[in-house]
């Protein structure tokens, strides 16, 4: 199973959308049988109503479990290597939920947790393809500078997972760990 995973990091919050068949759904919505966009016929009461879903779409529920198993609220410990061998640590929170009529999983990663003071805002964007690799999930792509990036979910259980972000500036010959998160489920 392959999933497109687009992510933007804004001011300590990582917002992502992962979906099976999202591009097919988008194309279908743009070409209505009558020739008019079906988007003009849908009048959601709010942005959140349009985004949120109660569960996976029945026609792809099995494929959605690659990321759907994370649905719920999580807390995390953050470990990032710093200059000169120093290690920086922190806390954070993660929220996964069904979105877009159950055809996507929306995730929001917040570090530091809400209520903590946040420094200067930075943006980070990457487009990746996520795939199951044995019991793990590995997402690969490039960042805005063209460097290769690899994000991995490992040690996945119903109550925890380990997530790492790595970057390679030399075409994948050497990988540098950027950050790792140790997540624990708080609520389903």
**pLDDT tens digits, 77-100:** 999 988 888 898 999 999 999 999
pTM: 0.73
Q: Which of 142, 139, 81, 80 is nearest to 107 (CA)?
A: 139
Q: What is the pLDDT of residue 83?
A: 82
**pLDDT tens digits, 118-172:** 566 566 677 889 999 999 999 999 988 889 999 999 999 999 999 999 999 999 9
Omega within 30 of 0 (cis) for the link into 135: no
CATH number at residue 79: 2.40.128
Residue 40 lies in domain? 2-187
Residue 79 and residue 17 in contact, taking contact as beta carbons nearer than 8 Å: no
If one counts the domains in the chain, the total is: 1
Dist. CA 156–CA 185, nearest whole Å = 11
**pLDDT tens digits, 27-82:** 333 333 334 444 445 555 688 888 889 999 999 999 999 999 999 999 999 999 88
Q: Look at residue 33 and give its three-state secondary structure.
A: coil
Q: Please provide the DSSP assignment of 61-106 as one string.
A: HHHHHHHHTT-EEEEEEEEEE-GGG-EEEEEEEEEEEEEGGGTEEE
Strand 176-187 with 160-168, pairing = antiparallel
Q: What is the pLDDT of residue 111?
A: 82
């Amino acid at each position: 199973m392959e999933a497109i995973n687009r992510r933007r990091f804004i001011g300590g919050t990582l917002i992502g959308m992962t979906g099976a068949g999202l591009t097919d759904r988008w194309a279908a919505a743009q070409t209505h049988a009558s020739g008019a966009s079906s988007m003009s016929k849908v009048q959601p009461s709010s942005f959140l109503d349009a985004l949120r879903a109660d569960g996976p779409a029945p026609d792809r529920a099995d494929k959605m479990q690659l990321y759907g198993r994370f649905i719920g609220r999580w807390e995390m410990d953050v470990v990032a290597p710093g200059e000169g061998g120093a290690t920086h640590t922190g806390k954070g929170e993660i929220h996964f939920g069904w979105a877009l009529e159950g055809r996507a999983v929306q995730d929001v990663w917040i570090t530091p947790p809400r209520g903590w003071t946040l420094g200067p805002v930075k943006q980070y964007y990457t487009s990746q393809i996520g795939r199951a690799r044995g019991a793990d999930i590995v997402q690969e792509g490039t960042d805005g500078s063209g460097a290769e990036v690899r994000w991995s979910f490992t040690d996945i259980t119903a109550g925890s997972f380990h997530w790492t972000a790595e970057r390679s500036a030399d075409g994948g010959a050497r990988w540098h760990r950027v950050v790792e998160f140790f997540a624990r489920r708080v609520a389903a």
